[in-house]
Amino acid sequence: MLEEHVYSVSELNSKARGILEKNYGSVWLKGEISNLVRAPSGHLYFTIKDKASEIAAARFKGHSALLPAPVLENGMEILAFGRLTIYEPRGRYQFIVSLIQPAGLGALQLTFERLKEKLKTEGLFDAGHKKPISPFPHRIGVITSPAGAAIRDILSTLERRWPLIEVFLFPSAVQGDCAADEIISAIACAEAFSSTQASLDVLILGRGGGSLEDLAVFNDEQVARSIFACPIPIVSAVGHEIDFTIADFVADLRAPTPSAAAELVTPNRTEQLGLLSSWIAQTVRHLDTMLDRGTRRLQSSLKGYIFQIPNRKVERLNQDLDFRLGEILRRTSEAWKKRSREGTRLEGFLRLSDPTLPFRRGYSLTFPLGKPIPLRDAAFLSPGQCIETRLQHGSIISQVEEVTAG
């Protein structure tokens, strides 16, 4: 009979630890904290349990400095990353934790990081794919909830900075189970509108701030791919300054808030008027300098012949010079005044013929989608047909559900 090997306790614990670490390595573990103890050394010892089982766990101070953990307490459900091992001196099976996150947030954050790394590897975040934003856009599309604060902030900022711009709203939910599909559909609708109706210079995709769960739709992979594939430059304006989403990384430009997005895509009216005034003043100074230089040159030429010209002729020439200079100044002044009066007249005419005047009084115009002539009779519509309603600020694309003849 062959003699069997007899293990020492230390040898058996060592062998068991090697087998355990080799076969499992590092894993994610979800459970509830109990029996939490913070040692004087700074190490944390606790139990991770579920309804049926529990396992001893430890998180050493060195890991805490490198990857700070949230404030832990008994009863907290966590998502922990670490390795299985055996503490040989006591033969205790335990889980050594290197990263801890609250379970709900941790799962979302983990999904976020994995998708971020995947899309980054595919090149969706590369600067070379970013489309330039026009410095003087004529038409802006906005994808957001029509009932949210984001659209009000955007319209208010655009009205203040660049009121000449046209705004088109493509409504979409920005939170909830259906939000991803609605955002993708709104992007497609904006693309179709831009290619068939009126070319859009930029799209703003935005909503107000929120928790990581509230912003989940902007971390959706299909939403990110729709943003990347859109031929219209897209500005992501999701959340507040501290919030980053996958949409922010994929978009052509990221703004911390919807209001900031409206500022980034439009010039400042006050600054542009200042630049125009400066240019006019510079032009006037340049004309004055040229006139002064010509006058001095003429006077210098006259002085060169002063002794060859009889006194009376010199006096007459001086009078002619004064008269001609006065005539030049008078005609220049009259020309400026005439142009000013003409500009005032045209301004009044344009104000009276401004097609947006009815809009300011609260009226709107409704067009069959894709048609240039506004509707005057509901009988020309049928259920299911798309229409465009133009307001003072922006327009709304909608679908007819019922028609009542007048």
CATH code for the domain of 171:
3.40.50.261
pLDDT of residue 103: 72
Residue 231 and residue 305 in one domain: no
Q: Which residues are 269's β-sheet partners?
A: none
Please count the structural domains in the chain. 4
With respect to residue 17, please indicate whether it lies within any of the assigned structural domains: yes
Classify residue 281: in a domain, yes or no. no
CA–CA separation, 267 vs 272, rounded Å? Answer: 7
Low-confidence ranges of the chain (pLDDT < 50): 1, 64-68
- The Cα–Cα gap between 333 and 273 comes to 24
CA dihedral 345→351→355→358, nearest 10 degrees, is -150
Query: Does residue 201 sit in the same domain as residue 152?
Result: yes
Euclidean distance between CA atoms 98 and 222, whole angstroms: 32
**Domain for residue 125, yes or no?**
no
pLDDT of 215: 84
Asked if 251 and 294 sit in the same domain, the reply is no
Inside any domain, residue 406: no
Q: Which residue range is the domain that position 334 belongs to?
A: 288-349
253 and 236 in contact (C-beta within 8 Å)?
yes
**Predicted local distance difference test score (pLDDT) of residue 355:** 62
Q: What is the pLDDT of residue 347?
A: 66
pLDDT of 224-248, one tens digit each? 999 999 999 999 998 766 668 899 9
The one-letter code for the residue type at 3 is: E
Decide: pTM greater than 0.75. no
> pLDDT (tens digit, 9 = 90+) per residue, 256-307?
899 999 999 988 877 766 777 778 878 878 888 888 888 878 777 666 655 5
Q: Domain for residue 279, yes or no?
A: no
Residues 156 and 256 in one domain: yes
Q: What pLDDT does residue 264 have? A: 92
Q: What is the pLDDT of residue 65?
A: 40
CATH number at residue 99: 2.40.50.140
